[in-house]
Structures are given as structure tokens and as C-alpha cells.
Amino acid sequence: GNSVTQMEGPVTLSEEAFLTINCTYTATGYPSLFWYVQYPGEGLQLLLKATKADDKGSNKGFEATYRKETTSFHLEKGSVQVSDSAVYFCALPGIQGAQKLVFGQGTRLTINP
């Protein structure tokens, strides 16, 4: 089945710093790719997604580009805020066309003022 490997955390940055969280995947075909975010004490919520190669997903200042050449979907933000402190998960369908998602191990991000 498909799998995803995420950059290990935790990551600590100062406010307004540039953020990159790496995600690489192994998959059959070209599945949709996702970033989910989990704020403290809450469930996961979809942050952004890309459904085909070279697509760029974006939301709340975050971006990720689906790169099939490097099988990557790195999450970036140009200027982070304290409110971005959360755990970030990269995900993709377990097998092609499947409904269930498999998640990376998560990267805990802490932003200091």
C-alpha cells in the first residue's frame, strides 16, 4: 500500500520565520495528497490538498506543491504566527482509489513570540 514519511519534530521557530515541513510519499499511481492540522485538544482538520501532479494546494498562508519527480509534498509558509502552533500531518489514500487515508507520524510545530 501507499505510505508517507514526514519530517520528524518537534520544530520550534520564532514568529515571522519561514517554515518548511518535509513530506515524501510512496504510492502507486498519482493519488491525491493532503496536509491536515491538529490544534491542541482538537481533532484533525484539512489544511490543504492537491489532487494531481504539479498542483499547488494553499490555505491560510500555507502552500504545498505536488511534485511527482521527487515524490514530495512539502508544506511551507513564509511567515508563521503563534497561532500556527499545532501538529501537522501529511496524508494520502492507503491504496489507489481507497477511501481511507494513511498519515505520517506528525510534526509538532511551536511558534514563539
Partner 1 sequence: NAGVMQNPRHLVRRRGQEARLRCSPMKGHSHVYWYRQLPEEGLKFMVYLQKENIIDESGMPKERFSAEFPKEGPSILRIQQVVRGDSAAYFCASSLFRDTRWYTGELFFGEGSRLTVL
Question: Rounded distance, CA 70 to CA 22, Å?
Answer: 12
Nearest to partner 1 of 14, 28 (CB atom): 28
Q: Least Å distance between CB 79 and partner 1?
A: 27
**Nearest to 91, CA basis, from 11, 41, 21:** 21
Question: Rounded distance, CA 30 to CA 53, Å?
Answer: 7
Strand-strand pairing, 107-112 and 11-14: parallel
Nearest to partner 1 of 5, 17 (CB atom): 5
Q: How many residues bind partner 1 (CB under 8 A)?
A: 25
Name the 3-class secondary structure at 82.
helix
Window 40-69: contact mask with partner 1 (x via CB under 8 A)? -xxxxxx--x-x------------------
C-alpha grid cell, residue 35: 496536509
Using CB under 8 A as the binding rule, whether residue 109 contacts partner 1 is answered as no
What is the dihedral angle through the alpha carbons of 67, 74, 63, 17, rounded to the nearest 10 degrees? Answer: -150
Among 31, 66, 73, 80, indicate the residue that binds partner 1 (CB under 8 A). 31
Q: Least Å distance between CB 16 and partner 1?
A: 28
Task: List contacts with partner 1 (CB under 8 A).
Answer: 31-32, 34, 36, 41-46, 49, 51, 89, 92-94, 97, 99-106
